[in-house]
Chain A
Amino acid sequence: MIRSITQQKSEEEIDQLLSGLGRIFVIGCGTCVTLTHTGGRTEVNVMKEHLANKGKLITGDLVLPVACDNMTAEALNEHGQQIDQADALLIMTCAFGVQTIAKQLKKLVVPALDTLFIGKETALGQFDEVCAQCGTCILGETGGICPVTSCHKGLVNGPCGGTNDGKCEIDNAKDCAWTLIYNRLNELGRLDGMRKLQKPRNHQGEPSPGKFIL
């Protein structure tokens, strides 16, 4: 399942975003941010305590099952009054959730998290970005490993000179995509694919903002 991978903003940034706002309603989500421990029930409780210690009044809180879906009428009815009383909603969901809630509630929203990427849990507690939704998929040429996403520079013709022992020049905790692609194509007996000089990519497959109408 694809997941929205988030990281909590720094305490200073959150404090600054909330400065001058006394009454806060906190919203978390039961899906991706619960998995990454950034906006589930536990983190919402910790945040409430933190804000209370800073002198904020918490008008209420809510952990939505799936914050990127529209809020149900029941949830709204149950918490409507507490939401009304708040100066701002501190939202501990990914940015999809923040935008969905902002549209529905017409209240000032303050994100508590940064949304890093759309990824996959590739090992217990490890999340990797695998697709950046570029609009012109080239996985057919690379053995199913995405260089647009997995290579730091998005290179499509093989490794840069910075690759070292199969790791990326920016961080030796990150694999060099082109070592992975080489190994995969080698296994498949398809190295010819890597020898082919690829044309520059089309970066305007779907000029942003993306829109799709059925």
Chain B
Amino acid sequence: MSSSFKDALKSGKFVITSEVAPPKGTNLEKMAHHVELLKDKVDAMNVTDHQSSVMRFPSLGGALLVKEMGGEPILQMTCRDRNRMALEADLLFASSRGINNVLCLTGDSIVLGDHKEAKSVFDVDSSQLLATIRLMEKGKDMGGNNLDGAVSFCAGAIVTPEANPIEPQLIKFEKKIEAGAEFIQTQAVYDLDNFKRFMEYARGFPAKILAGVILLTSAPMARFMNKNVAGVSVPQSLIDEMASAPKGGALAKGIEIAGRMIKQIWEEKMCDGVHIMAIGKEELVPEIIEMSGIFPALKTQD
């Protein structure tokens, strides 16, 4: 396997990942446009898997598109829609086509999505999926049978550093690393002092940590996330800053804040990199990276 993402993680440089969302339908134009914009700016891009339980073009197909376009995909896989056989089969396929990075997720509930009466699966969970990847790398499947051709992946998972209560979440985090997670992308963090405390703990584990940065698009959007997104807490000072933006300038303010946060995470070497989520506004990611001012520096690092 050659995973340029894994190499980037190993190199010790500050790693930047972002994400692209497959379309609702067969029109891949917009996604391809985002891939084109991002592929030389980030070390890898996550391809989301029916995000928020909304049915879309599959992440596997999206990851193939990224690959074909010369980008480095991270295949997101949730356990919501496929049982262990289907997950294993998709891992075989991904591996055979040079998709070498997987992000293992449990997946949101069906009832939160757009197919509310569908059957949910959850035959395995995120930590078991990670263990499955490690098993398949040894040439075995979950039924105990030999594989004719093993897989090889750079596998990762997520953590919510601001979850409440935090202890059960941290136990799960440790189990994911024990099961084989090499990298961890975090849920959005906004209070960097809290994040530093989390990192003091997380540094004790053998996984690279990429801090989640979600672009704020308006003050109401920030308040909405505080109310509705588990484990995301935007401090009042940032909400006020968003609200202080001149009319029509909220998005620019959001880009400024995201850039500033990335810069601080990088300068203070808080963790191993960032995962930038612009949810629907992926075309702004290059601007966010530019705003952080780290890109020329990173280039010389390469």
Contacts and interface: CB of A to CB of B under 8 A. Distances in A.
Interface stretch (A24-32, A51-59, A126-134, A163-171): A163-171
Contacts of A106: none
Given A155-B125, A158-B168, A182-B168, A169 B175 contact: no
Given A154-B122, A160-B106, A179 B165 contact: yes
A79 B216 CA distance: 69
Question: Chain B binding site: helix, strand, loop or mixed by DSSP?
Answer: mixed
A166 B166 CA distance: 10
Interface stretch (B29-37, B90-98, B156-164, B244-252): B156-164
Nearest to A165: B164
Contacts of A165: 164
B128 interface: yes
B184 to A, nearest CB: 12
A195 B165 CA distance: 16
Interface string A163-190: 1111001100000001101100010000
B111 interface: yes
Contacts of B123: 200, 203
Nearest to B111: A170
B131 interface: yes
Interface string B99-132: 0000001111101100000001011111110010
A195 B174 contact: yes
A38 to B, nearest CB: 23
Given A152-B109, A161-B160, A197 B175 contact: yes
Interface in B56-79: none
A91 B160 CA distance: 48
Contact of A197 (B84, B131, B159): B131
A169 B231 contact: no
Interface bin, chain A: 20 to 34
Contacts of A198: 128
Interface string A126-168: 0000000000000000000000000011111111111111100
A194 interface: yes
Contact of B106 (A161, A166, A191, A203): A161
A163 B163 contact: yes
Given A154-B122, A169-B230, A191 B164 contact: no
B53 to A, nearest CB: 11
B283 interface: no
Interface in B167-212: 167-169, 171-172, 174-175, 178-179, 187
A200 B160 contact: no
Contacts of B163: 159, 161, 163-164
A181 B171 CA distance: 12
A153 B126 CA distance: 12
A179 B123 CA distance: 21
B158 A161 contact: yes
B164 A159 contact: no
B298 interface: no
Contact of A155 (B106, B171, B187): B106
Contacts of A162: 108-109, 230
Nearest to A160: B106
A194 B142 contact: no
Contact of A161 (B84, B142, B167, B231): B231
A211 interface: no
Given A155-B122, A159-B168, A179-B168, 10 more contacts: A157-B125, A158-B127, A161-B169, A161-B230, A170-B111, A182-B171, A195-B174, A197-B179, A200-B128, A200-B142
14 contacts: A153-B125, A157-B127, A157-B175, A158-B127, A158-B168, A158-B175, A159-B168, A163-B163, A164-B164, A182-B171, A195-B175, A197-B128, A197-B131, A199-B128
9 closest Cβ contacts across the A-B interface? A158-B172, A164-B230, A182-B168, A160-B106, A153-B122, A200-B124, A157-B127, A170-B109, A155-B125
